[in-house]
Amino acid sequence: MPAKKPGAKRRPFRPRKFVRRAYDLLSTPLALFFLTYSRQVHDGYGMTWPKRMRLGYRFYRNFSKVQTGTNWRAHLVMAMKLLEIPPEVKGAVVECGCWRGGATVNLSLICEITGRELKVYDSFEGLPPPSPGDPIAARTFKNGFMPGMYGGALEEVTGNVRRYGAIDVCSFHKGWFKDTLPHHDGAIVLAFWDVDFYSSLHDCLLNLWPSIVDRGFVFLDEYRDVPYCSVFYSEKYWDKYFSCAPPGLIGIGTGVQVGMYYTDPSAGMGIPRIQGAESIAYCRKGDRSIWEYYPDEFENNPADPPMSAAT
C-alpha cells in the first residue's frame, strides 16, 4: 500500500453522494431493461432490443468518462425517441449547449446508427453575459456565477467525441446563439437544448422551431424550473411568434420517468440531498396544449349542442 504523502488531505466522505451513486449503479440493469423496451422503434434501423441495451450500456460508460450536466438515462430517452422516427423522414439532430461534450458523445453514437448529422451549437466560452429582463440570468450572476462558467473549449469537446463517440457525423458551430442560430439550415428531427437562460431558450425557439419537422422532438434540460418551462404552455408566446397553439412539455417540474428518485423540482438545484433530478423533458411538434373548456360560454350560446359524456 503506497504511503500517504505528507500534508495530503483525505477526500471527505459524502454519504448523500455515495448513496445516489450506489443507487444509480445498482439500478442500471433495470433502467437499461425498461428504458430500451419499445414497440415503436422503426424496423429500418435494425436495432433489436439487445442492441439497444448494449447501446445504453455504452452511454452509461461514457457518462463516467466525460463530464456532463445530464444523465446517461436522459441521453438514452432521446436515443429511443430518435429510433421512432422513420428513416425516410429527413433531418438532422441539433444540440444547443454542450459544455464538455458528455451528451454530444452519446448523441453522436445514435446519430451514426440512424444515419443523421449532429449539429452542435455552443459558444465554447461558457455562459454569456446576462440579457436585460432575463430573470434566470440575473439570479445566476447574483449567486456568484460569472460569464464564461460552464465553458468547454471546442478542442476539448471534439477530443471527447473523437475518443468516445462518432466525430464523423458531427459539425460544430461556434458562437453565441443569437449570432449562429439565425443561419441554421435544414430540417431538424430532434433537438436538445441545455441553454439555461430565458434569452437563450428564446433564441432556440425563434430560430429553430420552424425547422423542426412535423412530429419532431424538442428535449429540454431545464425541466425543473417550472416558470422557465411555462413558455411551452404560453398561448401569448406561441400566437405571437408562431401563430399556433403551445405544444406543452412532457415532464415539466420532475422530468420523464427514468428510474431516479426525487419528488420536487428543487432536488439537485444546489441542495445536497439523497434525491436528485436526473431526467429530461420533451415536447413534440404538432401537439396542442391549450385549455378549451369554458362551460359558462357554452351556457350562454344555445347554438352549441351539448356534448355527451361518451364524447
pLDDT mean over 171-185: 97
Q: What is the dihedral of CA 259, 260, 262, 265, to 10 degrees?
A: -90
Band of pLDDT at residue 198, cut at 50, 70 and 90: very high
User: Is the model's pLDDT at 114 over the cut of 50?
Assistant: yes
Band of pLDDT at residue 234, cut at 50, 70 and 90: very high
Q: What span, in angstroms and rounded, lies between the C-alpha atoms of 272 and 19?
A: 12
User: Is the model's pLDDT at 212 over the cut of 50?
Assistant: yes
pLDDT mean over 191-215: 96
Band of pLDDT at residue 148, cut at 50, 70 and 90: low
Q: What is the CATH number of domain 15-299?
A: 3.40.50.150
How does the average pLDDT of the chain come out, rounded?
Answer: 89
Band of pLDDT at residue 20, cut at 50, 70 and 90: confident
The domain ranges of the chain are 15-299
User: Is the model's pLDDT at 309 over the cut of 60?
Assistant: no
What pLDDT score does 30 carry?
A: 97
* Ranges 9-13, 92-96, 149-153, 253-257: which has the least confidence: 9-13
Band of pLDDT at residue 311, cut at 50, 70 and 90: very low
Residues 6+ positions from 31 with CB-CB distance below 8 Å = 56, 73, 76, 258, 259
pLDDT mean over 30-42: 97
* Ranges 34-48, 93-107, 208-222, 258-272: which has the least confidence: 258-272
Q: What digits encode the pLDDT tens for the residues 259-298? A: 988 887 776 555 557 887 789 999 999 999 999 889 888 7
User: Is the model's pLDDT at 143 over the cut of 80?
Assistant: no
Closest to 73 measured CA to CA, from 272, 222, 259, 237: 259
User: Is the model's pLDDT at 210 over the cut of 60?
Assistant: yes
User: Is the model's pLDDT at 100 over the cut of 90?
Assistant: yes
Backbone angles phi, psi at 215, to 5 degrees: 70, 15
User: Is the model's pLDDT at 101 over the cut of 50?
Assistant: yes
